[in-house]
Amino acid sequence: MEQTGKGSTRRATRGLDFFRGFLRSPEQVGSIIPSSRFLERRIVNLSGLEGAGVVVELGPGTGGTTRAILEAMRPAAKLLTIELDPQFSSILESFGDPRLFPHTGSAADLPDILGEYGLPAPDVVISGIPFSTMPPEVGNAVLEAVRDSLSPGGRFLAYQFRGHVGRMGRPILGEPEVELELLNVPPMRFYRWRRPEA
């Protein structure tokens, strides 16, 4: 019972932090409420975290998805988060997980950021950033950065409630696999790409 209470309090605090972030920068936050546990579970299942050595999360927000990713990762794996909002990044810094590397900056700089932390090409990149609200040139730069950074056989998973990333990603990453999660407000689409092994 005590654990449930703590979880409810943490989720309520996350919701308030998320809403404040939306008010500060609505173009950078895709929704006024954080992700549901159903969405978090789908992210873990679709991204194939169990075998990943390096994972990158773009746009982690208040860290609900980040916690789910950390719980699913191997003890020796590393997670780099890239967030534009410094207040969201400071929330992630408070997690105290030595596998977590929170970074404040642009996802378009992914190759340089990986080098800054001495991290190799990621096996998985997960993105919650709202491609529908960013200029096309910025969205394209982010997708190109992901394409150029992924390890052979690596996976890119973007979850969105609009279809912009699918349309933008096709010329850069190819045809995605698409799934829908209805148990989230709003319902969320998942777009998954795999980099060829060779």
Q: Is the pLDDT of residue 26 over 50?
A: no
Residue 129 CB-half CA count within 13 A: 27
Please write the tens of the pLDDT for every residue from 63-96: 989 999 999 999 999 999 999 999 999 999 999 9
Cβ neighbours of residue 43 closer than 8 Å, sequence gap 6 or more: 35, 65, 68, 69, 126, 157, 159, 190
Burial of 190 (0-12, 13-18, 19+ CB in 10 A): buried
Average pLDDT for the chain: 86
pLDDT of residue 35: 59
Give backbone dihedrals phi and psi of 191, rounded to 5 degrees, phi first. -120, 125
Q: What are the structure tokens assigned to 147, written together? A: 């394409």
Please write the tens of the pLDDT for every residue from 120-176: 999 999 999 999 999 999 999 999 999 999 999 999 999 998 899 999 999 999 999
We find that the CATH architecture of domain 2-194 is 3-Layer(aba) Sandwich (3.40)
Distances (CA, A) of 56 to 11, 59, 114, 128, 152: 23, 10, 9, 11, 15
pLDDT of residue 30: 42
- Give 12-26 as a DSSP string: HHHHHHHHHHHHH-T
Give backbone dihedrals phi and psi of 59, rounded to 5 degrees, phi first. 70, 55
